[in-house]
Every structure is written in C-alpha cells, then in structure tokens.
Amino acid sequence: MSDSIAIELRDVVKRFGDVVAVDHVNLQIRDGEFFSLLGPSGCGKTSSLRMIAGFELPTSGSIIIHGREMGITPPHQRPVNTVFQSYALFPHMTVAQNVAFGLEMRKTPKNEIARRVQEALDLVRLSGLEERRPRQLSGGQQQRVALARALVNHPEVLLLDEPLGALDQKLRKEMQLELKSLQVRVGITFVFVTHDQEEALTMSDRIAVMNKGKILQVGTPTEIYERPNCRFVADFIGETNFIDGVVIGRDGNYTVLETPEGLRFRGLAARPLSDGTSVTYSIRPEKVRLLTPDGALPPDGLAGTVMSVNYIGSDTRITVRINDRRIIDVWEQNTRSTLDRNEYWQPGEAAVIVCPPDNALVLSE
Amino acid sequence: MATLQQQQQGRDRIRLALLLTPGLLWLVLFFALPLVIIFVYSFMTNDALGRVVYQPTLDNYITVFTQSLYINAYWRSIWTSVLTTVICLLIGYPLAVFIARSPQQWRMPLLMLILIPFWTNFLVRIYAWQIILANNGIINGFLELIGVGRLPLLNNEGATLIGLIYGELPFMVLPLYAAIDRFDFTLMEAAADLGANKIQAFLRIMLPMTMPGIVAGSVLVFIPTLGQFVVSELLGGAKVDYLGNLIQRLFLRANPINWPLGSAMAVLMMIVLLVLIMLYFRATTEEER
C-alpha cells in the first residue's frame, strides 16, 4: 500500500430535489487500499459511489481520481469499473461475452481479449463456464462473473455496491474472504459499499462510517470498533452499553462521569472535556467482567443481580441489573467445553461487574 | 383396473378436451374453412356473370404474375408496408422509451393517450384526416396564412402513408412499451461503466434485449398494412392500386366480379407475408442462437 491518493472527494454535495444525499463529504482513499463506505440505507454511501463512477454528478464539490479532476467526464471515460448490487450481467450474452465486453469497447485486439478473458475467469475460478448464460448460473457464480467483467479491464479503482447483499449467509462469508484475497492479489484499489458492519470489519483496510450524508469517522477496523468517535458509530458498529451522564472531573488519563442516580464511571475521552459536559459512556459487552461478590467492591466495580443468561454457543450473554433503571449486557466467552449448567451464571444470582476504564469510552455530543 | 394415476390422467384429458372445443370449433369454422375455400377458388375459373366455375386452372396465378397491374400492386403494398413499419418503429421506439422512463404515476395516463383514439371508429378518424389535409383544410389554411400557399396534401401516396402511420402507431408502441418496461436500465449503466458510449450501449445491449418488442410491433403493423384498402381509398384518393384495393374490387365491384382471381391474389399475399415474416424472424433472432 503506497501513500499516493487513488480517489479524493473534495467537499462533495449531492442533492436530489430537497433531499441532501451527500452533505459536504471530504475523503481520501489511498492507492491499493480496500476501503469501505459503511452506513445504514439512505446514508449517502451508494450516492457517493455512483458519483465516483460518473452515474451521478455532484451538485457541488469535486471528485479527483489519480490526480485527474473528473468534472463531467461520462462513466465510459472514467478509469474505474463497478460491480453492481444486482450484478447487471447482460442476459443475452454468454459469460465470456460479458467479460469481453469492456475490452471490446476499448478496441483491444481479438487474441488479447481471449487471453485476458481466460485470465479473469481463472482469477474468479469460473473457467469452464464460458459459454453459459447468466441465468444458468447460481447467485455466487453470477457475482464472480460481475467481478471478472470489471477486473478484466484492469481498472485503476474497482467500485463495489453491496455486491454480497443477494447471497446467503454462508456464501457471503466465503466471498468476503475471497474478495479480500483477490484484492490483495490484483492490488487494485477497492471501494466497497455496505451496510453490514461485520463485512466491513472483516475485509477493509479502512472504513468510513456514514450517516445522513455525512462521514462520521474514517479509520481502520480496530480504530472504528475500539475507538468510535461518537455515539452513532459506537452503536452502529457492534453492540455496546450506553450510559448517559455528566463529566465531573478527571482521574489521570481517564474522564469521570456521574449518572443522575449517582453512579460513577471512568473512561477514555477523545479530547479533554470540561466539567458539566453531557456525555455518553460506552462499554462493549465483551469488555465488561463479571465477578462473584466477595465483600469489598473492586475499583470500577458495581454490585448487581443477574437477570438473564443466554447461551449462544461461542458466548454466554448475560444481562445484569445494577439498579432500578439500569441493565448492563455482559458477554463471556465459553472457553471451557462443559454441559454443566453450574459453570454458567444463574438468574437471580448476585454479581459484581467491573468496567475496566481502558476499555470504556466517554463520548461527547 | 386403472391405477389412480391413470384415472386422474383420464379425467384431465376430458377436461382439456372440453376446454379446447369452443376455440377449436371457432378456428375451424372461421379460419381454416374460409382459407380452404379461398385456396380452392384460386384454382377455379370465372364466367361472364362473375360466377365461379369449377374448372381447375392456373390462369389466375399466371395473370397475377404477368400483368403489371397486379405485380405493381404487390410491390407498392410491400414497399408501403415496409415504409410504414420502419417509420412507426422510428417514432414508436423513442416514444415507448419516454413512457417507460416516466415516473410511475405518469405511465398509465400516457399509455391511455396512445389508446384513446381507439375509442373512435377508424373510418371517422380517417375522415378527420381528410379535413386536416384537404385543399381548404386546416394545414393548408395555416400555410396560406403564413404565405406559403396551398399544397396538394390529400389524395396522394404521401397522404396514404400518413394515414397508415397514424393508424398503426399504437400497435407498434404497445409491444415496444412492454419490452422496454421490462428492460433493466442498470444494464445501460453497466455498459457505460465498461466503456460503451450511448450509441454502443444501445446497439449492443438495449436493442437486442428489446428485440422481441420490435419484432412483435413490426409484425402487428406490417400485416394489416399489407392488406389495407380503406386508407388508400379515402386519403390516397384511389389513384393507385394497393393489394387490398385490387382484392376488394375483384370480389365486390369488378364487372364481372372475379372471385377466383381475387382468391389467387389473396393466397399469394399470404405467401408473401409468410415468407417476409419468416425472413424477419430469422434476421432478428440470430443473436439468441
């Protein structure tokens, strides 16, 4: 991965009538990067992708691909290719004809077309199906044809619009890994649009989390998951416990907040916050530790009662009530293989939860 | 003892026969039988009073193939039908695209606008065109007003063509609309994405994929146009003979009337249609094979 910029969005705005789909977005996607645009439907991620491809033009702002300002360059003259959500394979053409289409449009010599089509089909492990029509293929195979059809052109950037959305869960997981390894092999910049946070975390080098047309945070999967910069990102990526409170001071590296009922929590804040600021405390369920009470409470410990215990195979998910209003989710990994129910917590049992401050965040706004 | 499955099959067969009988009867009585009669008549002779004499001959076919009056009528009708079909296609395709690409709530009203003329009798609408095209008609009135002067718009082959295009256009637009409405325009984006300009994308993707609509529309326009006689009589002024005019005259108004010759013309017209349509299907469906 080099540091040169493949795609830059400068203050891009897209309006559809009164609706602002993309709201002053600034973004730099590096060369060779697997970059995901992640967000709920209607967040502007697909509009952004379509503007890069040239299907839509920005209302204002500019899109720069490898240093070239795109302006009103039509899609067929842009150095990018797209894998569509619906695949958009040409139904009246064979697999080979579909894959050859882009090369034919670029007036590639016949024998080179044949060679590169074969290469592309090998790359996606589809050789042998050249003469099939798209409708004779399974969903996963169609998806590979769409990939081959785009990659055969050696685009500078490959745009993927929720390409795994139509596949079933198992195939999805397979394709995630395959796509990622494919990207590493061909070394092309991938811009991947998805609403599936797990998919984005699994595959991406970096992720931009979008909501309501704005980019909220850009970072590596670990940064996005471990250090979300706002409540929306913390909520959208993975699961978390939120506790609202007010900053009452600092304790070394940690910011201390107090809830209306007087509970105190310590966590990391992205920037210094003055006392009295309304904040949200966030701790992920797998970071909370659950202990058997033995007299004195440990630091950052709170006494509570186990409410429910759900065994889900890899984890046991426990809800703990700490007072009339507050319930904390705790996930414990099932590290031991046992059928003994007593290995797990029991509803009604007294317990102490510990929220390690290094694993907790204090989010402002 | 028949198995349950055989009993079931037997019952299904009876049901099928009952359901098909009315349609079959209709086809035999009103399609096959008249066709056979026409075919047989075309090999018969005519007497001075216009009666069919049962005396087998090939004379009728020889007449059609040797007399320029008849041969010219074939060429004129075929040429006019081709022209009508092509022009209807050129007008109808963009129109159908426009309707199919309109917002959902506009599509039905727009299609209704195409269909509304059908609520009026065809003859009445053709008479309306007389009023529009006449020497002292609406267009000439306007042309005179702006100083161009009157033009001979009515009673010529151009007027016939206008009337035919006007009358047949809906039969072109409706199947085209059905085909284009089914067409996924994401495919055009995919083509553009792969480096195709608008024209290439249309020729390589949209045209082949909407070909069934083009074929259906063309056939629906071509067939009735080949045999028409009303438009050429009312707008063309019956100055030149089209196939339909000749056949109609031979059957009803010639002195003496000549059913055998008329039948021979009709049979040949059917053969011409079959051949042309077969060629057309072959030319347009090549992509699929």
**CATH code for position A314:** 2.40.50.140
Rounded CA-CA distance B79/B75 in Å is 6
Which residues of chain A are within 8 Å of residue B193 when distances are taken between CB atoms? 53, 55, 75-76, 80-82, 150
Rounded CA-CA distance A224/A280 in Å is 17
For A157, name the nearest residue in chain B, comparing CA atoms only: B193
Asked if residue A365 has pLDDT above 80, the reply is no
Asked if residue A335 has pLDDT above 90, the reply is no
- Predicted confidence at residue B81, as pLDDT, reads 96
- Predicted confidence at residue B117, as pLDDT, reads 87
Judge if A170 and A255 occupy the same domain.
Answer: no
**Residue A79 touches partner B, C-beta closer than 8 Å:** no
Q: What is the mean pLDDT of each run of 10 residues along chain B (289 residues)?
A: 86 92 94 94 91 91 93 94 97 97 94 90 92 90 88 91 95 96 96 96 96 94 94 90 93 91 94 91 68
> Between chains, do B190 and A81 touch, taking CB under 8 Å as contact?
no
Q: What is the CATH number of the domain that holds A230?
A: 3.40.50.300
For the segment A223-235, the average pLDDT, to the nearest whole number, is: 94
Judge if A206 and A256 occupy the same domain.
Answer: no
Q: In one letter, which amino acid is B137?
A: G
Sequence spans of domains, chain B: 67-288
Q: How confident is the model at residue A340 (pLDDT cuts 50, 70, 90)?
A: confident
Judge if A89 and A218 occupy the same domain.
Answer: yes
- Predicted confidence at residue A1, as pLDDT, reads 44
Judge if A248 and A357 occupy the same domain.
Answer: yes
Rounded CA-CA distance A7/A28 in Å is 6
Instruction: Among A234, A258, A275, give the residue marking a domain's end.
Output: A234
Outline where DSSP puts E strands in B25-135.
45-46, 52-53
Q: Which of A84, A88, A92 sits opposite B208 (nearest CB)?
A: A92
Residue B187, sorted as left (phi over 0), alpha (psi -120 to 50) or beta, turns out to be alpha
Judge if A61 and A151 occupy the same domain.
Answer: yes
Judge if A269 and A159 occupy the same domain.
Answer: no
Judge if A69 and A130 occupy the same domain.
Answer: yes
- Predicted confidence at residue B281, as pLDDT, reads 87
Judge if A156 and A253 occupy the same domain.
Answer: no
- Predicted confidence at residue B136, as pLDDT, reads 87
Judge if A227 and A245 occupy the same domain.
Answer: no
Instruction: Among A182, A206, A234, give the residue marking a domain's end.
Output: A234
Query: In the predicted model, what is the mean pLDDT of chain A?
Result: 93
Judge if A106 and A84 occupy the same domain.
Answer: yes
- Predicted confidence at residue A211, as pLDDT, reads 95
Least-confidence region, from A108-122, A162-176, A227-241, B254-268: A162-176
Contact A264, A362 (CB under 8 A): no
Q: What is the pLDDT of residues A288-311, one digit of tens each?
A: 999 998 888 898 999 999 999 999
For A150, name the nearest residue in chain B, comparing CA atoms only: B194
Which residues 6+ apart lie within 8 Å of B190 measured at CB?
Answer: A82, A84, A88, A89, A90
B139–chain A nearest CA distance, Å: 42
Rounded CA-CA distance A301/A303 in Å is 7
> Between chains, do A55 and B192 touch, taking CB under 8 Å as contact?
yes
- Predicted confidence at residue B1, as pLDDT, reads 66
**Count: domains in chain A:** 2
Least-confidence region, from A2-6, A312-316, A361-365: A2-6
Rounded CA-CA distance B174/B92 in Å is 9
Contact B136, B217 (CB under 8 A): no
Rounded CA-CA distance B72/B213 in Å is 31
Work out whether the CA dihedral A11, A14, A18, A21 comes out positive or negative.
negative
Owning domain of residue A249: 239-364
Least-confidence region, from A67-71, A148-152, B149-153: B149-153
For the segment A308-324, the average pLDDT, to the nearest whole number, is: 91
Instruction: Among A214, A234, A254, give the residue marking a domain's end.
Output: A234
Q: In one letter, which amino acid is A148?
A: A
Which residues 6+ apart lie within 8 Å of B54 measured at CB?
Answer: B44
Judge if A219 and A245 occupy the same domain.
Answer: no
Classify strands A157-161 and A80-83 as parallel, antiparallel or unpaired: parallel
For the segment A5-9, the average pLDDT, to the nearest whole number, is: 95
- Predicted confidence at residue B286, as pLDDT, reads 60
Is 2.10.109.10 the CATH classification of the domain at B67-288? no
Judge if A33 and A129 occupy the same domain.
Answer: yes
Classify strands A360-364 and A264-269 as parallel, antiparallel or unpaired: parallel
